[in-house]
Each structure stands twice: as structure tokens, then as C-alpha cells.
Chain A
Amino acid sequence: MEELLLLVFLIPIIGSFLLPLVAKFSETLRNVLSLVFVLSAFACSAALVPSAMAGNPASVHFWLPMGFSFGFSADGLAVFMALIASFVGAIIVIYSFTYIEHSDHKNVYYLMVTLFIGAMMGLVYSTNLIFIYIFWEISAISCWQLIGYYREPEHVLRADKAFLMTVFGALVMLAGFVLVYQQTGTFDITEMQGAELGNAAVLLILVGLLSKSATLPLHTWLPDAGVAPSPVTSLLHAAVLVKIGVYAFARFFIFSFNVDPMWHKVVPIVAACSAIVSAGAAMVEYDIKRIIAYSTISQIAFIFLGLSINNKIGVAGGLLYIMMHSLAKGGLFLCAGVVEHSTHTKDIRQLGGLIRTMPVTAVAFLICAFSIMGLPPLGGFFSKYMVVSGAVFADSPWIATVFIFGTLMTIIYLMRVFNAVFLGTSPAKIVDIHEGSRSMVASALSLAVFSLIGGLLIYYPSEFVQTVIAQIGGLLS
């Protein structure tokens, strides 16, 4: 078990640096190996499930002086996140095979994507704040390289913007970590279970989380990151990047520390502002990827709401939301990628009527959009419902009302995109459009199908999440 825990992140991280070397012999082998590395993370995580569920998680610990440590542990939360990230990541890698077939720097692409997922694995399994920070920054670095992948001046500038904003947040968070260290004398989370955290430390850490998870007021890099290739945006939004912040939120403020009850009010309010403002922006934008990016910002707010509201149904909803949103948002971006790949435009004003030429993509898009909107029987319904009811059960129905309004806006802006891109008549400029390649469409559709399955078989993820929450103990009211 312990070996698996190390392999789960070492294989993709070390493996990623082998990919450029492998490419010297065979490009196909590189692509396949990249997939294999990501899948290995999935397989290892899956193998860690039984012990995590049984309540005796596998763990590795080396103690270093001065409260430093080198520790990894596979508890329920970590395994849950790792499974989602690696699974969606694997689908995105498959999708990439054809998507970036004809671009330069493919080595960089596969290296960074694999490294990204490896860093995510390291992050979720780490029990040490410093290692969490390290993997956090590795993910920021890969993200920086991937956003600027096409190397247009505009792209590089936006990549730098994203990098700067996330690193800024991370540095502030690091200050928060040091405060925690000052207070507890250790960087190891397992050592400070249940510690009361000062408000300054919470605030500092929160800045980091918000910047990584693109929440108001540190969100503006995310829409700009839409210049990245579609599988990358999908990766950022669905599998790894923005989920890091919410994962860390769950890890710190739900599973580890006790915080001032004030934060159970403040974070939902911040999240509410984020949800509404970004939803409004999504209703105005014309770039399909920017719209979906704003949608992510808006949806992440729901996750924050669920996790911060401090009751079990809300937290369970938040965790399920991470899963459902990953599947559906990944699917949306992959569909957007198919559209972009075939039509070479992202402007919804120049698109239309694609449901006739690209029916499978349209249906996949619609299903994923429905899941994001929270329509049953798709998975998004349950998570959204539980989050909202968590807010109500925490005696803040007004917050819930605001989020319900946000959901209404979600429906409107997603239908606006769907309408503009797939319905109506296609403009004259767009001719000779055909469905995307088989592997691309299949990846997108598979995410849609998994959204559906996730809803129909909600019993199993919900059971999983309930077990995870049961392991927290008394930290939740």
C-alpha cells in the first residue's frame, strides 16, 4: 500500500520528463505513455480505495527537524479527489491525441499535462503544508506553460497573468502556512488535527485558495486562460487546477482545522458575489470558452458554498459537486474544442446551426450543460441541491436564494451558448463543417455519459462521500 502511495504521484511526475526523450523514438509511444502514466495514477488511487474506506488510510511519513516532514496519506478525501482528477485527466489526454496532432511543441504539451496531473496527485496525498505548496506551484508552472502553449504574444501575456495571479495567491497562502507553523510548530497536517486557527492565517490561506480556484476577486485570470488549447482549458477547469483550491479548502478548513464561525458566513457571501458576478459576465461574453470559463467561476462558488457552510449535507454536496462539475465541465470544454477545431472560431456570433452537422457533439454539450445547470437525472442536480439545502439547513436561506438566482443565470447563459452555437441557422461563412474526429467526440460524449451515470447511480458516490465525511469526526457541526 505504501509503495502505491508513492508511485501514484512519482510515476506521472518522473514519467513526464521521460516523454520528450521517448518522443525521439516514437511520437505514438510518447502519447500512449502519457496516457499510461495518467492511468497509473488512477489505478493506484483506485487500489487505495478499500483501505481509505475502511478507515485506516495508507500513509508514509518521514520526519524532518523543525516540524518539517515528508508525509503522504491516502484518506477518503484524497482518494476521492485523485480518482476524479486522474479519470477526467485520462479522458482529456485521449482527446488531446488528435486535437494537438498538428501543432508544434507537442513534447512540452505532454510533459506538462502529465506533470500537471502528477502534481495534482502529489498535492492531494500530501499531509505537509510545504509539500502541498510545492505541488501547488508545480501545477501553476505547468499551467503557465500550457496556457501560453500557442506562443502568440497575447497568449504568453495571459499565461503570465494567470501565473502571476495564482503565484501571488500562493505566496500569501504561504505566509498563512508560516503563521500556522508559528502557532503549532509543525507543517504536518496530521500533527495539528483540530487546531484552532487564527483569523489572520485563515484569511491568508483563503486568498491562496480563492486565487487558485478563480473566485472573486481573484478570478480574472481564468477567462483569459481560455486562449489555451481546449483540452488544456478542460484540464484546468475540470480535472486539476481550479479544483485544487476547493480541495485544499476541504482539506484545511473542514478536515483539519477549527476556524472561527465567522468564516462560515463570510466565505458563502464571497462565494455568492462570485457566483452572481461571473454568471452575469457569462451572459454578456461572446467567446464560447470565456463563457464556459465564467461558468466555472460561478460553479466553483457553489462548491465553496457547500464546503464552507459547515454542515454535513453541504459538505457532501460540495464534494459531489467537485465530481459532477469535473465531468460536466470537462465535457463542455471538449465539445467547445470540437467546435473550435472544426470551425476555427470561438465567437458565438459567427456560429450557428451546428446541431445538424455535429449532432453528437451537440447532444454531448447539451447533456453536460444540463448537468451544470443541475437538471436531473444528471449528476449535477444532486450536488446543486445538496449545496443549496446545506445553506438552508445552516440557517442562511438568503444565501441559498442568491445561489438559486445564480442557477437561473446558469440556465440562461448556457442555453444562450447552446442556442447560438448549435441551434438556429449557420452563417454563410461556416461551410463544410463536419463532426470532429472519432476519439475527440467519443471523449466528449463519454464525459456526458458519465455525468448521466453519475446521476442515475448517485447512491454510490454519495455513499463514498458520506464515508469520507464520517471520517472527519467532530469538526463539522
Chain B
Amino acid sequence: MPVLFLMVPLCGIFLLNLPKRSIAAKFASWLVGLICVLLGVLAATSQMACWKPFNEAFVLPFSDLLSVDWFSAVMLFTIAMVTTAANAVGFDGEDRKKVLARSLLLICLTGMNGIVMVRDLMSVYVFLEITAVSCFVLIAIDQKIEALGGAFKYYILSGVATFAILIANAFVFMNVGSLQFADIQAALADAAAGDGALDLKISLVLFVIGLCVKAGVAPFHGWLPDAHASAPSAVSVLLSGVVIKVAGAYLILRLANEVFVEQPAARLALMVLGAFSIAVGAFGAIAQHDMKRVLAFSSVSQMGYIVLAAGLGSTLALMGAVVHIVNHAMFKSLLFVNAAAVKEQTGTTELDELGGLTERMPMTGWTSVVGLLSAAGLPPTSGFWSKLLIIMALFMADRWVFAIIALGMSIVTLGYLLMLQRNVFFGKLHAGLEELREARKSLTITALALATLTSVVGLAFPVLFYLLSQMGYV
């Protein structure tokens, strides 16, 4: 069954690139949407017992390389969800570009799905590169100068990351003789601070650097604001919504807790970087004058929370980190979808040229309130719970300094999000926007769906919590 997560998008790419391009262009969005929804449903049900017979009956090639545990399932669902949103935002331009973009979207989807399912470092590297390459092109697809610049920076820093990860793989392979997660873990458990300590440390450092670049954690985040802000709207949704999480945060979580366990120094490094990132992202966002850049910096800050929790590594923290990944995917895509709507209706995302949009675009305005509350970690939205879990975990581990930073930066987060809200959606209608209309249906429906999801998860969290505990995950 896990193979489906790779095969279905690949089939999609095949269908999109059939000779009759005009037909493909017409149905591209529906096709990709359908694929995403299908994958989402698959992901959501993947941990259910009903799949077991299928998994056993149809042993496809590579099946033994892929596995889907509940963490992967959550990630797969998140990927599907955000890709749906990105697809709904869509691309403009001629048919060829539309089809091309959607094909790249599917490639990216395939890459990400691969990352979360494979269980060896080499495959991780391969899928990482698939994702990254598709993203470079997606960012630059409109061939605008800023977007090209953004893509270039992403490319350069990604290069650093690729280099680091590859070398790290080599060190691990030299040491352990295998790149399978299970093998590495077993070998490390045996060696337990034996001869390979130096090699191991070097590889750890390299992994931290590489993955942090991918995750956009400060100070490795330089590419992120430029790339996310200059990319086409749909790509921004995808990048900020899910790519940085899958390529960065997910891998950090997976490696730190399944592969390189018991490494306090690396954990501390992650926590320091996380806390630094929270602060840099939050303060960085204040100084921005562009809606999308504010949101991009916000991503830096939010990734900091995830990495901080991943570094801490207690059960509570891991739960918080996973939930925060999902939450961040929801609210950040929501906010970027709304940014897309603003851009589409007003032609700009400059804060100085906006104001009072809620009067004319009520759906966009009110859903972004939900998004901002979630981003700031305020109840009753889902963002509250993940932040609460992270902060609780920090307190329980007596990590006072980190706890205070995490808590204190929440208020800065709220501050810049309120600034955003005030300058874009509230206040009096900005001059020249009198003719403004609500955004198109696909955007508002996506925003509404994400907002609903955010609030429902927030409201129903105690119930989810209860169910999870019944299922033994907590």
C-alpha cells in the first residue's frame, strides 16, 4: 500500500503530459486535486486495520523499503492537505505553464511522500533532492527577477545542505556499514560512545546543519524569506506549508528519535538553534512591510518551536512537535492562501497599500483571524494545544530559559500578526480599494476549509487527545 503514495502522483504526472495539452490544462487542477484528496484519504486511513490484508496480498516492488507508521501517516495527510490547498490556489499563465507547474507539484508531492516513508538515509537523500529540485523550478516558474533570485538563494543554500547530508551519510556508512535506520540505531546502541565517537559527532553536526537549512531554522534560514515571498502564491503555500517541515522538521524528529538517540549534545544544539530561530523569526517579522515576507519570517519562528521541541525529545515535546507541524501546515497554508487572495484582488501584498479588506473580503478577513490566532497559539484554535504541549514539556524538563523564550516570543508573534491584521484586514478601507470584491470561490472555500479544520481541531483537541490515549499513542 505505501507504494500507492508514490505511484499515484507519478501516474498523475503521466496523465498530465499526454499529448493533448489543452485537455490536460482544462482538467489539470481537478486531476491534481483528486489525487491529493485520494492520498489524503489514504493517509488518514493508512493506520487502520482494513489495509493489512491489502499490504500482505499485493507485494509490489520496493515495498520493503517503504513503511508507514502513524507519524508518517500524519505527515502524509498533512502533505496531501497542503498540496490540495496549493493546487486550489493554482497558477496563472498559459496552458503549458499550468500543466508544467502542476506536474512539478506532483513531483514535489512524490518527493515528500517518499521522504516520510523511506527508512534509510540514502533514500532520504534521494527524495530530498527530488523535492528540492522541483521546488527550485516552481519558485522560478513565473521567471520574474525576484523569484529567480529567491530560487537561486534556495539553490545555493540547498547545495550546502545537500553537501552536508551527503558527507554525513558517508561518515555514517563508514562507521556502521549500513544506512538503514534500524541498523544504525542498533550499531550506535552497541558502540555506546565507543571508537566511532568522532565520526559520529561529525555526521551529527553535518546532519544538524543540513536539515536546519532545509527547515529554514535561523541562522540557516537566509533563503527562506526571499524564496517564500517571491514565489508564486501556490508555491508559497506549498513551501511554507509543508516542504520545510517534511524536508527539515520531520527528518530532524525522525533521526533524533529513531536513529541518533541518546545524543544530548546534538539535542542541545537543536534546542539552541530552535530558540534562536523563534526569536529571529518573530523579531524579523516585525520589520517587514510585505504580507508574504511577514508570513515567511513567521515560518522561521514557528519552525523554531518545532526544532526546539524535537531537540528536547520528551514524549510531551514530541507530541507537541508533531501536532505543531500539522497545525503550522494548516494555519500557514491558510494565511498564504489568504495572501494569495489579497494579491489577486488588490495586486499587491505591501502592507502600506492595504487596509480594511475585511469590509470587502469578509471571508478572507475572518479566516485569517483564525489563522493568526492559531499562529499566535491562542485558544480555541489548534495552535494553542501544540504550543501548550511544547511549553509544558520545556517546563517539565526544567528548561527554564527555553521555556521563557518560547513563551515570551508568543507575545511578539501575536504582536506582528496583529500588526499584519491591522494593516491588511482591519481598520478603514485603504484609498483606491473601493471596488474591491471577495476573492474567487476556490480560494475562499480553501481558506474556509482550513480555518474550520483549525478551529475544529482546536475545539476537539480534548477528544482527539482522549482517542489518542485510548489508542495508546500517548
Contacts and interface: CB of A to CB of B under 8 A. Distances in A.
Interface of A: 62, 64-66, 68, 70, 104, 130, 133-134, 137-138, 140-141, 148, 151-153, 156-157, 160, 163-164, 167-168, 171-172, 174-175, 178-179, 181-182
Given A66-B316, A171-B411, 19 more contacts: A66-B474, A68-B462, A68-B465, A134-B380, A137-B384, A138-B379, A141-B378, A151-B356, A151-B426, A153-B428, A157-B422, A160-B419, A164-B415, A174-B391, A175-B403, A175-B404, A175-B407, A178-B395, A181-B392
Nearest to A138: B380
Contact of A134 (B384, B408, B427): B384
B340 to A, nearest CB: 24
Specify which of A133, A171, A179, A182 lies most central, judged by the most chain B CB atoms within 10 Å of its CB.
Answer: A171
B126 interface: no
A137 B427 contact: no
Given A137-B378, A138-B379, A179-B395, A163 B428 contact: no
Contacts of A104: 359
Contacts of B70: none
A430 B395 CA distance: 59
A64 B388 contact: no
A140 B359 CA distance: 22
Contact of B427 (A64, A130, A156): A156
A175 B406 CA distance: 11
B462 A160 contact: no
Contacts of B474: 65-66
B162 interface: no
B411 A164 contact: yes
B80 to A, nearest CB: 29
Interface string B310-338: 00000010000000000000000000000
A171 B407 contact: yes
Contacts of A140: 378
Interface string B279-311: 000000000000000000000000000000000
Contact of B395 (A152, A157, A175): A175
Contacts of A175: 391, 395, 403-404, 407
Contacts of B380: 134, 137-138
Nearest to A200: B400
A130 B411 contact: no
Given A134-B380, A163-B414, A174 B428 contact: no
Nearest to B474: A65
A163 B417 CA distance: 12
Contacts of B364: none
Interface of B: 316, 356, 359, 373, 376, 378-380, 384, 388, 391-392, 395-396, 403-404, 407-408, 410-411, 414-415, 418-419, 422, 426-428, 462, 465-466, 469, 474
A141 B380 CA distance: 10
B414 to A, nearest CB: 6
Contacts, number: 80
Question: Can you list the 10 inter-chain pairs with the closest CB atoms, starting with the nearest?
Answer: A134-B379, A65-B469, A178-B395, A160-B418, A168-B411, A137-B379, A156-B426, A156-B427, A137-B378, A156-B422
A164 B414 contact: yes
A148 B426 CA distance: 9
A101 B396 CA distance: 51
A62 B391 CA distance: 24
Nearest to B468: A65
Contacts of A137: 378-380, 384
Specify which of B316, B356, B426 lies most central, judged by the most chain A CB atoms within 10 Å of its CB.
Answer: B426
B21 to A, nearest CB: 44
18 contacts: A62-B462, A64-B465, A64-B469, A65-B465, A65-B466, A134-B384, A140-B378, A141-B373, A152-B427, A153-B428, A160-B418, A160-B422, A163-B414, A164-B411, A164-B418, A171-B407, A178-B392, A182-B395
Contacts of A68: 462, 465
Contacts of B395: 175, 178-179, 181-182
Contacts of B378: 137, 140-141, 167
B469 A174 contact: no
Nearest to B373: A141
B224 to A, nearest CB: 26
**Chain B contact residues, majority secondary structure:** helix
A117 B465 CA distance: 27
A219 to B, nearest CB: 17
**Chain A contact residues, majority secondary structure:** helix
Nearest to B394: A178
B388 A174 contact: yes
Contacts of B396: 178, 182
Contact of A130 (B359, B388, B403): B388
B133 to A, nearest CB: 41
A153 B462 contact: no
A163 B418 contact: yes
A182 B316 CA distance: 13
Nearest to A135: B379
Nearest to A179: B395
Contacts of B418: 160, 163-164
Contacts of A182: 395-396
Nearest to A170: B378
B472 to A, nearest CB: 10
A221 to B, nearest CB: 13
Contacts of A153: 427-428
B462 A64 contact: yes
Contacts of B404: 175
A311 to B, nearest CB: 34
Contact of B462 (A70, A163, A167, A168): A70
Contacts of A181: 392, 395
B461 to A, nearest CB: 10
Nearest to A157: B422
B426 A172 contact: no
A422 B396 CA distance: 58
Nearest to B414: A167
A167 B414 CA distance: 9
A155 to B, nearest CB: 9
A3 B227 CA distance: 53
A160 B423 CA distance: 12
B331 to A, nearest CB: 15
B379 A167 contact: no
Contacts of A163: 414, 418
Contacts of A70: 462
A133 B407 CA distance: 15
Contacts of A152: 427-428
B233 to A, nearest CB: 26
B204 to A, nearest CB: 31
A138 B458 CA distance: 12
Contacts of B391: 174-175, 178
A356 B407 CA distance: 55
A364 to B, nearest CB: 34
B192 to A, nearest CB: 31
A422 to B, nearest CB: 34
B394 to A, nearest CB: 9
Contacts of B359: 104
Nearest to A13: B380
A358 to B, nearest CB: 32
A151 B427 CA distance: 5
Nearest to A69: B462
Nearest to A154: B427
A122 to B, nearest CB: 10
Contact of A133 (B356, B379, B403, B411): B379
A160 B474 CA distance: 37
A21 B380 CA distance: 21
B422 to A, nearest CB: 5
Contacts of B392: 178, 181
A382 B419 CA distance: 45
Contacts of B316: 66
A64 B469 CA distance: 8
Contacts of A134: 379-380, 384
A167 B407 contact: no
A181 B392 CA distance: 9
